[in-house]
Chain A
Amino acid sequence: MSRTLVLGLGNTLLKDDGLGVKVIEQLSHHSLPAEIVNGATLGLSLLEILKSAERTVVVDAVDMGRPPGTLVRFSAEELLTLPESRNFSLHEIGLLEVLKIGQSLNEDFKNVIIIGVQPRDLTYGEELSPEVEARIPDVIELIKKEVG
């Protein structure tokens, strides 16, 4: 059974970190040939979600040290080339750590891609920075291309 997921990640109380979840909320008004999943701040439980799908498009804030609002698309395999964080904990377990654990267990993430936007502000608050907010239509277009 072919199952495609669009998975939004992030904490909506930490301003731009909430991007993935905000995109997911907007996507529920679009008709897409994919299942929309709010992954919020799930850590390790993401592994089961990723395993359950044939193909997953992850949407998340990604700190790349680039100008705020920069949009990127990369594959899980590209992400897996990076070292994991030393301060491993379960609250901070991010997508990279989840993928690394999965990789150690011989899971394959060829069909996972990540659409990311560079955040500006990760302090407490529920609103996105203007540069990040302005990127949402582009993110949605990109998701539609990916799953269409």
Chain B
Amino acid sequence: MEVPVWIEAIGYSSDTANLSKREDYLGLVSSLKAARTAYKVAGIEPKDVDVASVHDCFTIAEIMAYEDLGFCRKGKGASMIREGETEVGGRIPVNIDGGLKAKGHPIGTTGISMLAELTKQLREEVKPHRRQAQMKNYTALAHNTGGIGHYSYVSILRR
């Protein structure tokens, strides 16, 4: 029998599509709010996440996601990558499967691909083994954004 993986929470939020109506150009309010809701419903904090898949439609989107999801303070996203914190063995492995950019960001299917990857991660069935993130809490996070970042969904998965 397959090991079940559960959807603990899904947080979602939307913001204005009009860039000139946004207060902050350096992050996505929809991601921030979606994440807060997801963490609250799941009863966890960012540090409890073992592995994450974030919406890296563009490089900067991944960096902003680290900050919006609470993995680091605002402005520290790039340092996280430089210091290896988002690699397997790092503080919070992110996009171990290469993310959206590695698969050409097929719109819509990337969300499902994230859930498939995170399910494998939670079941500790990732091959090759070097791509398997260490499980402490058996908790994973999927982050998806649509449009021009004006709507976001954050899902917390648990085994």
- B is bound to A: no
